[in-house]
Amino acid sequence: MIVSKSDFIKSSSAVDQCPKDDKWDFAFIGRSNVGKSSLINMLCNRVALAKVSATPGKTQLINHFLINDLFYIVDLPGYGYAKVSKSIKEDFQKIIKSYILERESMACLFVLVDSRHEPQKIDLQFMEFLGENGIPFAIIFTKADKLTEKQLAANLEVYKQKMLEVWEEMPRYFVSSSAHSLGREEILDYIDSVRKELGDA
Ligand code: GDP
């Protein structure tokens, strides 16, 4: 897919303030500093469409970017810096939870995971929460340029094994590097295929 147009539409502090749901949302989420803003900018071919932030967790806003006048890329607030309580699964920030559970036009949620790190409890629990609620998602392993091919393959294998303790199969996943534009075509083509499969929002 060629991105010929990307426009910032609005920042919303609640799901009922989001743009009218007549186009599909493809949303991006992850722990702060996972590389979400860089990835969104890379996908949209823009230097600073999404702010590459130096202050993790400061903004709690849902940002909608309209791509090719056809669909939205949605930048969700990061998770993982909020205090984790005993009932962790229920503890994802209210704004994230309500967006995920209530936004009817969300076609796919991309869960970003830093490819350098061991599987993190908060990410695994977040994906379990998605599974339990039937939310369509895919994983994006970010910052692949920071690893050798061998390290990357080893980390992916560890991740897959960990996921398979809970999941029947490894969810759809992508490997990305915003520094090298790796994964760009695959992710955009996937968005295109999901959009075509779903038809009009
Ligand atoms: P966010 O908090 O998830 O939006 O993360 P940012 O996009 O702001 O990135 C956090 C830090 O990681 C910044 O210093 C980025 O320059 C760096 N970063 C993000 N993506 C990549 C990548 O693909 N490769 C490398 N080497 N650094 C990255």
Dihedrals phi, psi of 155, to nearest 5 degrees: -65, -40
Ligand 1, residues at Cβ distance < 6 Å: 30, 32-38, 52-53, 56, 78, 142-143, 145-146, 177-179
Global pTM exceeds 0.95: no
Which residue of 114, 178, 184 sits with most ligand 1 atoms within 8 Å of its CB, as the best mutation to test the pocket? 178
Cα–Cα distance for residue pair 170/152, rounded to 1 Å: 16
Which residue of 32, 33, 36, 115 sits with most ligand 1 atoms within 8 Å of its CB, as the best mutation to test the pocket? 33
Which of these ranges, 16-30, 40-54, 84-98, 107-121, has the smallest mean pLDDT?
A: 84-98
Nearest to 178 by CA among 52, 3, 78, 11: 52
What's the pLDDT score for residue 94? Answer: 84
Cα–Cα distance for residue pair 108/172, rounded to 1 Å: 11
Cα–Cα distance for residue pair 191/22, rounded to 1 Å: 16
Q: Which pLDDT band holds residue 60 (cuts at 50, 70, 90)?
A: confident
